[in-house]
């Protein structure tokens, strides 16, 4: 099981330390995206992005994500 998968599962279970790890793991990508935004809007956008990521992670249905074999079977 991947670390990201496990973190999301723990976030869904209400584990605050896993939420912090999850945010830190995504932070470099979010920062790269924010570098494209107007400097004055970055902090507001950062908050909105992390709120959206959190809400999406909380309701994401991990059990419905296909593994590689299932994905391969679907596309072939």
Write out pLDDT tens, residues 17-73: 999 999 999 999 999 999 999 999 999 999 999 999 999 989 888 888 777 777 667
pLDDT at position 1 is: 53
CATH tag, 3-75: 1.10.1740
pLDDT at position 21 is: 95
The domain limits of the chain are: 3-75
DSSP 3-state of 67:
coil
Of 74 and 10, the one with more pLDDT: 10
Q: What's the rounded Cα separation, in Å, for the pair 11 and 32? A: 24
pLDDT at position 64 is: 80
Burial of 69 (0-12, 13-18, 19+ CB in 10 A): exposed
């Amino acid at each position: 099981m991947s670390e990201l998968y496990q973190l999301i599962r723990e976030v869904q279970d209400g584990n605050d330390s896993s939420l912090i790890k999850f945010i830190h793991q995504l932070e470099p990508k979010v920062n790269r995206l924010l570098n494209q935004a107007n400097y004055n809007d970055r902090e507001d956008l950062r908050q909105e992005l992390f709120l959206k990521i959190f809400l999406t992670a909380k309701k994401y249905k991990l059990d419905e994500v296909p593994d590689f074999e299932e994905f391969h079977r679907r596309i072939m």
